[in-house]
Structure 1
Amino acid sequence: MGNVDLNDIRLFVAVVQAGSFSKAADLANIPKSRLSRRISRLEAELGTALMDRSKRGVLLNEVGEQFYQRAQEMMQAAQTAVNSVQGKLDTPGGLLRLSVSTEVGRGFLMLHLAEYMRRYPDVLLEIEINNKKVNMIQDGIDIALRLGLPEGDNVVARKLTDIELGLFAAESYLQRAGRPKSPHELHGHALLNKYDGPEWRFTCKQHSVHIQGGNKLNSNDANLLGQMVSDGAGIALLPCFDNMLREGWVRLMPEWAVDTVPLYLVYYKNRGSVPTVRSMADFLLEKFGRR
């Protein structure tokens, strides 16, 4: 193409479509004299005149007609290319990696994944379910769902909800070991504790009691503790997700309040505008908002 400036071709098409230099200059918001010089430069680079100029407007010669057709096609192709990229950037697609704790994964996330996948069919989900503290950069995580306020200046933490906790035991265990009526009576029971979870702190009518849980079992997996409750192994402090509560469980001392645990959606600041990350963040906020 030699030294031909593609912007000069764009201006040439604008002049032809406007019908005159004056109107094209107004539409392009540039001086008419400058526009005229740009078209003259284009003709000089091509080595031929493209149009005749008169007070009535512009009239393309035979070479100008052919050049205009090809130039118009080029501009349309360029716009199509730009639109395809912008459309791709605006549409959620590609790999999205999530990290989520076991209880949140089972108690909430898995209930809505199918809907998300139907809504965003071009997104490939990769979900890591564990209770370890992940390094989002090193592990390549786009979004993490974590209990408690995360640390770090370069992350965005959006609170989804406060998770309610309850004290649960199986009827079979209570028949064998007795039913505690107050937190003080827990000392004589088998306590199953989530060691990376909240403290066992109970409040009733401005009276607070702190209990050291885990005298029989400590684990970082609430699902394991739930199974132990079902098997009659003891009493556990567990999230009150509907699909984690099992038949045969009894909620103990509901009049004694337990501190809720905040659940946060976390992603890095420079990832928040990525359509795939934004789609999942908005989806989860929508679902927790309904709850």
Structure 2
Amino acid sequence: MELLNDMALFIEVASTLNFRRAAEVSGIPNSTLSRRIAALEKHIGLRLMHRTTRKVELTEAGQLYYERCRRIVDEARIAHEQLGEMLAQPNGVLRASLPVDFATIYMAPLLAEFSRRYPGITFEFDLTPRRVDLVTEPFDIAIRMGEQSDSNLIARLLARLSVQLYASPGYLTQHGAPEHPSDLVRHECLGFPKSGRWTLHREAETTEIEVTGRFLVNSVGMFRRLATLDLGIIMLPEEVAAEDLAAGRLQRVLPEWRGHSTPVYAITETRLLPAKTQRFIEFLQEHLRS
């Protein structure tokens, strides 16, 4: 990089054949410019310029070097300008692994808005439940819910989602609404395999309940659907239940009580991100936290 900078300074002097004018354009002292050109000549091993008190002339080697280096410096300048444009308006393919139900239910409208904001980006989304390998697979980012195990990957917290209890109006009509978390032991509770215990909070009060149910399901979408079919009580982030809540298919149970908030992370292999990925993370942080 230092050699390229010195080449650019040489091009400026060679273009004007005037050290003082080149120093003004480059924004460095005349003495510094003269020293950098002398160092460049020493590095190359050839005299590039004849300097007198009255004028500056290029040597034969200097003329050849000028013609070659001018193209190199111009290409480098254009590359930097194009990268600047890319930062302002990112483009390329964004490959992302997303949680199936959270992406389908909640993120889809956000993704539509993001795509309109950055028309130069195209998208490849993987919504399978598997955990993709960001090191060996060609993914730019993975969005993950829940606490993450320690690893060499970079995890950026996007938001913490409030978790509440829900059931269908039909279920509550048939079985009654619990009035305290302890009543949950007498209800069908839908959840992931081995979920076993639910921890609930109300202000400074915390309670842990042993829950049971006939359905243990490893899909949020599935046990959410079962809940709308009057089969039990579920505990979900508000954002995931919002659609069914608005449609009246679900309603809140024990509304003063909440579960542990669910963190949402953006996972990347490195901190050095292309503009498309950086803008995607910033967009999600902005919208999820609001």
Report the TM range for the smaller structure's normalisation. Answer: 0.7 to 0.9
TM-score if structure 1 supplies the norm length?
0.75
How far off is 1:182 after superposition? 2.2
Q: What SS class does the counterpart of residue 194 from structure 1 fall into? A: coil
5+ unaligned residues in a row in structure 2: which ranges?
24-29
The change in CA–CA distance for 1:145 and 1:198 in structure 2 (over 3 A counts) is: farther
- Give the corresponding residue for 2:278: 278
Provide the C-alpha distance between the structure 2 equivalents of 1:252 and 1:110, rounded to a whole number of angstroms.
27
| Residue of structure 2 aligned with 1:103, choices 101, 104, 110 | 101
How far off is 1:112 after superposition? 0.6
1:225-260 Cα offsets, whole Å, 9 max, x none, are 221121112221122113353413221111233222
- Give the corresponding residue for 2:250: 249
- Give the corresponding residue for 1:46: none
1:26-79 Cα offsets, whole Å, 9 max, x none, are 276233993896899467xxxxxx98x764324789x99x98996796367434
- Structure 1 residue identity aligned to 2:256: E
- Structure 2 residue identity aligned to 1:127: F
Q: What SS class does the counterpart of residue 157 from structure 2 fall into? A: strand
Q: Is the 8 A contact 1:271 1:277 kept in 2?
A: no
Q: What SS class does the counterpart of residue 190 from structure 2 fall into? A: strand
How far off is 1:176 after superposition? 1.8
The change in CA–CA distance for 1:178 and 1:74 in structure 2 (over 3 A counts) is: closer
- Structure 1 residue identity aligned to 2:33: N
Q: Is the 8 A contact 1:21 1:35 kept in 2?
A: no
Provide the C-alpha distance between the structure 2 equivalents of 1:264 and 1:33, rounded to a whole number of angstroms.
50
Equivalent residue runs for 1:51-62 within 5 Å: 55-58=53-56
- Give the corresponding residue for 1:82: 79
Provide the C-alpha distance between the structure 2 equivalents of 1:142 and 1:247, rounded to a whole number of angstroms.
38
- Give the corresponding residue for 1:123: 121
Equivalent residue runs for 1:209-228 within 5 Å: 209-213=208-212, 215-228=213-226
Provide the C-alpha distance between the structure 1 equivalents of 2:137 and 2:36, rounded to a whole number of angstroms.
57
- Give the corresponding residue for 1:31: 35
Provide the C-alpha distance between the structure 1 equivalents of 2:112 and 2:209, rounded to a whole number of angstroms.
41
TM-score if structure 2 supplies the norm length?
0.75
- Give the corresponding residue for 1:47: none
- Give the corresponding residue for 2:259: 258
Equivalent residue runs for 1:133-152 within 5 Å: 133-152=131-150
The change in CA–CA distance for 1:216 and 1:14 in structure 2 (over 3 A counts) is: same
Provide the C-alpha distance between the structure 2 equivalents of 1:40 and 1:136, rounded to a whole number of angstroms.
47
Q: Is the 8 A contact 2:99 2:129 kept in 1?
A: yes
Structure whose CA Rg is larger: 1
Please provide the CA RMSD for this pair: 3.9
The change in CA–CA distance for 1:209 and 1:120 in structure 2 (over 3 A counts) is: same
Larger displacement relative to structure 2 (175-184 or 203-212): 203-212
Equivalent residue runs for 1:179-258 within 5 Å: 179-195=177-193, 199-204=197-202, 206=205, 208-213=207-212, 215-241=213-239, 242-245=242-245, 246-258=247-259
The change in CA–CA distance for 1:189 and 1:78 in structure 2 (over 3 A counts) is: closer
How far off is 1:175 after superposition? 1.6
- Structure 2 residue identity aligned to 1:232: D
- Give the corresponding residue for 1:267: 268
Aligned-pair identity in percent equals 24
Query: Aligned pair count?
Result: 275
Q: What SS class does the counterpart of residue 286 from structure 1 fall into? A: helix
Q: Is the 8 A contact 1:9 1:42 kept in 2?
A: no
5+ unaligned residues in a row in structure 1: which ranges?
44-49
